[in-house]
Each structure stands twice: as structure tokens, then as C-alpha cells.
Amino acid sequence: MTLCIETRGDLRKLFAGVRPRKYKDTEEGKERYCCRCKDYWPATLEFWWPLNRGDGFHSWCKACCEERTKELKAGAPRMKRRA
Ligand SMILES: [Zn+2]
């Protein structure tokens, strides 16, 4: 059991170095990472839709949300199913 927990801790450490940081400090202020376009945008309501959970912002930037809405309207599948 102990081994299992330790292994998981190691994996988490490993991923922490690989996964992009959610926030980045720039000269213009705080920027937030969009997990869809893999880019950073200023952490303001101008670029992000508000959300009543997590850190208060949607995980996709506004441009990605709009793109996704267009895709759905065009008949794109809602979610990729896990095999
Ligand atoms: Zn985006």
C-alpha cells in the first residue's frame, strides 16, 4: 500500500514538470493558460468566460469557446469517446 502511494507521488512530481503552468506572470500582468489552443491569455473577463467554480474562469479562452460553439452548430460530435 505504502509503495502504491509513493509511486503516485512520484508520478505527480514527474507530471508537474511536464504540464504547462496554469498562470504565468508577464510585464502586462497575470496570464492564464488555455488548454485548448495551448496559449496564454490575460486573466481577465475580456478573454475568459466566468465560471462559478475552480479559479473563476472557464478552462478554455473565449475564442476557443466560440470556435467550439460553431463546430457544434456545424454538427461536430460533442465529445470524443474514450476507447
Ligand atoms: Zn484557447
Model's pTM, two decimal places? 0.67
3-59 confidence digits (pLDDT tens) = 555 666 666 666 666 677 899 999 989 999 999 999 999 999 999 999 999 889 999
Q: How far is the CA of 81 from the centre of ligand 1 (A)?
A: 21
Q: How far is the CA of 65 from the centre of ligand 1 (A)?
A: 7
Please work out, in degrees rounded to the nearest 5, the angle formed at the alpha carbon of residue 29 by the alpha carbons of 28 and 30.
140
- Residue recorded with cell 465560471: 51
Q: How far is the CA of 72 from the centre of ligand 1 (A)?
A: 16
> Does residue 2 surpass a pLDDT of 70?
no
Q: Are 42 and 29 in contact (CB under 8 A)?
A: yes
Q: How far is the CA of 52 from the centre of ligand 1 (A)?
A: 19
Q: How far is the CA of 80 from the centre of ligand 1 (A)?
A: 18
> Does residue 62 surpass a pLDDT of 70?
yes
Measured distance CA(74)–CA(64) in Å, rounded: 15
**Cα-trace Rg, the chain:** 17
Measured distance CA(47)–CA(58) in Å, rounded: 10
